[in-house]
Amino acid sequence: MKYVLLFVETEEFAAEFRAMGPAERARAFERVNEWFAAHAGRITGGQKLRDPETATTVRLGAGEPVVVDGPFVEGKEVVSGYTEIDVADLDEALRMVRTWPGCPVVEIRPVETGPME
């Protein structure tokens, strides 16, 4: 079963990360890299995303599309990255996510495998 893990940062997490010293920040990245290495056999893709301020949003609906600089939703939580995984089932995805050492929220979303309708 394929899932996308959406890594979500909160304002508190981002502030704590910014407040870390260089050694503490390096250790945090090391823990994340260790997590990715431990699960490498199930990870099929993914990337860290740039800050939400770098986003461009296109709003479609009535009339002409509206292009806006910035994220789709201004909020206290932002998706900071994602990874694609291929696991047996949701239980296995949950076991992986329970050991995630990074940001405090991870959304697990199944990938649609059929034709787009």
Q: Note the pLDDT tens digit of each residue in 1-52.
A: 999 999 999 889 989 999 999 999 999 999 999 999 999 999 999 999 988 8
Is residue 77 in a domain? Answer: yes
Question: Does the pLDDT value for residue 79 go beyond 90?
Answer: no
Is residue 115 in a domain? Answer: no
**pLDDT of amino acid 21:** 97
Question: Does the pLDDT value for residue 71 go beyond 80?
Answer: no
Is residue 33 in a domain? Answer: yes
Distance CA 1, CA 88 (A): 6
Enter the pTM of the model. 0.83
**pLDDT of amino acid 11:** 87
Is residue 116 in a domain? Answer: no
Q: What is the mean pLDDT of the chain?
A: 89
**pLDDT of amino acid 69:** 78
Q: Which of 14, 100, 13 is nearest to 108 (CA)?
A: 100
**How many separate domains does the chain show?**
1
Is residue 18 in a domain? Answer: yes
CATH code assigned at 49: 3.30.70.1060
- Per the structure, the complete domain to which residue 103 belongs is given by 2-110
89: tokens are 């089932």
pLDDT band for 108, please (50, 70, 90 cuts): very high
Is residue 117 in a domain? Answer: no
Distance CA 86, CA 43 (A): 6
> What does residue 34 show for φ and ψ, rounded to 5 degrees?
-65, -40
